[in-house]
Amino acid sequence: MTMSAPASGSPFWRFSLKFYRLPGVADACIALQEAGGADVNLLLFLLWHAMQGRALTADEVAGLEQKIAIWRERAVIPLRAIRRALKSPQGLIEAGAAEAFRTRIKAVELEAERLQQEAMYELVREPLLGQAAPSVAAAARANVAAYAEACGKDFAAGAVAALIEALPRIRLD
């Protein structure tokens, strides 16, 4: 996920833009995506809920995952694959032209992620998912653990810790 779009849209999208730009957050998200198979948009959604003191269950996370998987599989992942493939053009196209094209693909990929996030926000606008948690950090730990349980994966503890430690540095709108 690359975050350079304008800060408009839902409160969740604005949170994602701000949070992703914090030092260490992008690296942690990418590590969880690459090594753990995490959907960064879903991860950010869970952290946004944590910022509001909400802890979700594995069943709630699995329900969200089921609703968003088709968009991710048919739009976000193929666009990401194209963008990555264009990082090393094979020489047929001049390097500058290839990079300009890759930049346009990157913008389309970001738009696909924004659309996913806006759809996720609309799915649960009122009421928010989950139960009240004793703190933002507790909610964040619970939400990431619920995500790991829902998808049957172990997420890298260091990357998760980096995200949870970054949460206090952001303010919600």
pLDDT for residue 123: 86
DSSP 3-state of 147 = helix
| Beta partners for residue 50, in sequence order | none
Domain membership of residue 91 as a residue range: 11-169
Q: Decide if 100 is inside a domain.
A: yes
Q: Decide if 3 is inside a domain.
A: no
Main-chain dihedrals φ then ψ at residue 132, nearest 5 degrees = -65, 140
Q: Which of 68, 59, 6 is nearest to 41 (CA)?
A: 68
Q: Decide if 136 is inside a domain.
A: yes
Query: What's the number of domains the chain is made of?
Result: 1
Report the first-to-last Cα separation within the chain, whole angstroms: 22
Q: Decide if 43 is inside a domain.
A: yes
Q: Decide if 112 is inside a domain.
A: yes
Q: Decide if 6 is inside a domain.
A: no
Q: Distance (Å, rounded) from C-alpha 6 to C-alpha 17? A: 8
pLDDT in tens, 33-55: 999 899 999 999 999 999 999 99
pLDDT for residue 12: 94
Q: Decide if 66 is inside a domain.
A: yes
Q: Where are the extended beta strands (E) located within the chain?
A: 54-55, 131-132
Q: What is the mean pLDDT of residues 72-96?
A: 90
The H or E element spanning position 2 is none
Q: Distance (Å, rounded) from C-alpha 97 to C-alpha 92? A: 10
pLDDT for residue 130: 86
Q: Decide if 56 is inside a domain.
A: yes
| Beta partners for residue 132, in sequence order | 54
pLDDT for residue 88: 82
Range from 4-8, 121-125, 159-163 carrying the lowest mean pLDDT: 4-8
